[in-house]
Amino acid sequence: MDPVVLTIVLMLAAYFICGIPFGLIICSCMTHADIRSMGSGNIGSTNVGRSVGAKAAALTLAADTIKAIACSVAARVIVMFAFGLPDAAATMPSGAYGWIGAAVCVAGVCGHIFSPYLGFKGGKGIAAGFGAMIGFAPLVAVGLLAVFLAIILPTRLISAGSVAAAASLPFWTLFLYQAKPEVFGLISFVAFIVIWAHRNNLKKLLTGQEKRFSFHHEVKGE
């Protein structure tokens, strides 16, 4: 099969799978309310946690992460079979077919941020991006988690941790996997689009208006 054709097929599949708005679905099932009318209006786990609670946030985070892992892993397996590769090395960031996995990561994150089911609106790409990296370059995912936790644990500023992790993404890929230039470029685009999705949060961070994270707590009679 032509690599470009296969890549386009895999990207389309990742886009539509990662576009599934699990935050909206989970909150609708648990509260019969539209998460887009609550808090910041975002469908991601941070707003779900603030607006609905820890259980809904955990389910949303897990679902958004798993859908991206599934797309990345499936893409690598399909590439291996399609081109008769003896092992997964060629599908890593430094491998001959690493660019296909990176392109699938781009499509998955774009699907989450620009969901085709919500008028091309969606989350901010953190869970989907993290999941995509778990499937594509696991050591990078560890680096991203380390940066994220280093920021949010002392500050409780989810957006600051998210932006810092996204900004570090291309460098982890290069440092840990010696990513090829085309892979580095695609992964850099993932970082850019995630940071762009946080543009309003960045403005609030710069002006000191960004809220520190806390879970929604039900009150008596609620």
Residue 109: pLDDT over 70:
yes
The stretches of 52-180 forming alpha helices (DSSP H) are 54-82, 98-113, 126-136, 138-155, 158-177
Within a 10 A sphere around the Cβ of 14, how many other Cβ atoms? 29
**Nearest CA among 93, 78, 92, 90 for reference residue 5:** 78
| Pairwise CA distance, residues 141 & 149, whole Å | 12
pLDDT of residue 215: 75
| 52-68 burial: b if 16+ Cβ within 10 Å, else e | bbeebbebbbebbbebb
Q: Lowest-confidence range among 8-12, 38-42, 83-87, 215-219? A: 215-219
Round to whole Å and give the CA distance between 35 and 205. Answer: 23
Residue 218 clears pLDDT 60, i.e. is over it: no
- 4-53 pLDDT, tens digit each: 999 999 999 999 999 999 999 999 999 988 999 998 889 999 899 888 98
pLDDT at 220 over 90: no
In this prediction, residue 222 has a pLDDT band, given cuts at 50, 70 and 90, of: very low
Per-residue pLDDT at 217 exceeds 80? no
Read off the pLDDT of each residue in 198-204 and give the average, rounded to a whole number.
93
pLDDT of 216 strictly over 90? no
Predicted confidence (pLDDT) per residue in 117-175, tens digit? 999 999 999 999 999 999 999 999 999 999 999 999 999 999 999 999 999 999 999 99
Which residues contact residue 187 at a Cβ distance below 8 angstroms, ignoring those fewer than 6 apart? 93, 102, 105, 169, 170, 173, 179
